[in-house]
Structure 1
Amino acid sequence: MEAQADFIEEQTGSGRALRFTGNLAIARLGDLPKRLEQLSGPIEEVRLDEIEHIDTIGAWIVHDFAHTHSARITGAGPDATKLLDQLAQADDTIRSRVHVPYTPAFLRVMGEVGDATMVAMRTLLGLLGFFGATCIAIWSVIRQPSRFRANAVIQRFEVVGVSALGIVGLMSFLIGIVIAQQGAVQLRQFGAEVFTINLIGRITLRELGVLMTAIMVAGRSGSAFAAQLGTMKLTEEIDAMRIIGVSPMEALVLPRLLASVVMMPLLGFYSSVVAIIGGGIWCWIDLGIPPITFVQRLREVVPMTDLWVGIVKAPVFGAIIAMAGCFQGMQVKGDAEEVGMRTTSAVVQAIFLVIVLDAFFAVFFTQVGWI
């Protein structure tokens, strides 16, 4: 019967040595690895001249122990030597791959900032190129109106606009109530609760109605555009369209772009009206302002320019959302995980660009006197 794997500590002229005995196969190792971990102190030499047999697991235990204690291995037979050499080569390769050189925290942060900046610049250039391709597709459709896909655009009207009425209306109604409640609480300190109507009307028509609608459309429709086109890219449907002579920009991107541009002003106006209704109901309940008085006051304090500001911004926001979603969807390649990543990027980029443009519009309209 083969002996259980074991070891003997010996003292040599150069220091301590460890002599393995028995069968160093996985079936006969027993608690040998645990006992080896409990050894302390330097080991100069690992001897294998008395082992009966050794397999890969046993060879790995010997190699790892010798590497940990910086000990030399002696007495191994030809087969054991070959096995240990192969394990040493594999171990060196693995250790060289997992070894990460130390980099100071400041340099790591600066490197990440630089990488993020380069990604942002490449994305911006890609969006500009995609915008150029969209303009070319629009010009091609204008030159040949028969290539315009009216059915696809009408279908996107339903997806982007009609199907979004419920969630946009609920969100706007609640936002109107929140604005009225918070405004009334703050203005009550100065005895100026009546100016809550000014706050509701102006901030809703001018900013929040269109901005919150754009954010909702970006999360709802922009993500859908990216996921749909990304899935079509993975399944090679877009390549098949090119092969049969159908332009993906005209067949897929333009209907989504036109639907977003047309529906965003309507959704923005609808959102503003619903938010004003929510604020008016709260003013009626909390402040005792009747609906007739609320409407009359609203007409007095809210200029038409506030409505035009929202209407002007809405189609630009719609175009940005559609372009970001379609651009990210067309960039999908590799596997299904890329679809999720590109969808997330589409939503983040669309919301970021919408907020940046909203800030630009705020400054622009102030300069031209629409305040």
Structure 2
Amino acid sequence: MDKTEIEKPQEDEKFSKIKSLAKEAYRFLDQGRFREAKERLEILLEEDPSNTYGLVGLGDYYAKTKQPAEAIIYYRKCLAQDSTNKFSLMGLMNCYRDLNSLKKIIEVAEEFHHITITDASILSRVADAHRKLKNFKESEVYYMEALQINPNDQYVIVGLGHLFFACQRYAEAIQWWEKLLSTQPNNIKILTEIGNSYRKIKDFDKAIIYYERAKELDGRNFFALYGLAESYRGKKDFETAILYWEKILEFDPENKLIINRYADSLRGLGKYDKALECFNKILASGDDYFALLGKAAALKLIGDLDKAEEIYVNLLAKSPNDPRPALELSDLWDLMGKKVQAIKMLEDLAKKIPSNESIRERIEYLKD
């Protein structure tokens, strides 16, 4: 009998065994049965150490069990065997994302450029990394390349919404969020993102429409309630804003950010004593920048100018280049008849941060 006739059945048997092991291992990975998956994958690689299914599978095992450094080793081994394996490249990028190594994502995308340019999901991960590194131009290029491959890729569309929001191109952000909303009308996150975008351009009425839709789907959704409160605060409708701050405080009573916002709205209604109670509640557990600013402003409004001045001076001593307490102190000093002192302070600050227009405008106002 010819030797090749003997070897072929043996090769077919080995291939069948490897295929069966790989199928079982991937099924166990999907089911979260990680120990059994690893056992099959290790047997598979004993049979064929360079098998890409086995290498990717072990990479996935380590990635799913929160061991990204180990996963990287196997994804790299797979790419060394098969430099076109997009599953390994995707796994590699996900591991670097989990390790918060955004620059490494970009590096491997360039290293395996021949794979990167062929897959929308991979391109979107590179775009995400650039966006988080604030490389906005590069991020947009990668997202647009991904769209050329798959115009309806939801991750790409989400990424574009986040990108344009981060770039303060809010109208474009809304356009991409709306595109996604057309296929997911009950997606609370998208609804609140659109609300946030409208709120940024101070179109509070439109923002409220989207936050209300989100609230109807989940009456305790923090972002919907927060957006509604902030929108009504922006409209100077402090009474309605307070209703929503109180709804949040019902289930998150110690949230300092919300207590601060609640106190600001109380101050807007002229309820200075209640506002001061809120600011003091926050400060009882330690210094808080916004609570101190809020308290100083409330003290100024009730005529306790000396205590307000003390807070502003202390804030400036800690952060001498911070324009906000300086600007508020200049208003206070103007009220107290210390205009010359206010101008001198602002002129000194303007030398340190010459690009700040608010400081220059305030100096001109005081000198007028």
TM-score, normalised to structure 1's length?
A: 0.21
Higher alpha-carbon Rg: 1
More relative contact order, 1 or 2 (CA 8 Å, 6+ apart): 1
TM-score, normalised to structure 2's length?
A: 0.21
Q: Which has the higher strand share?
A: 1
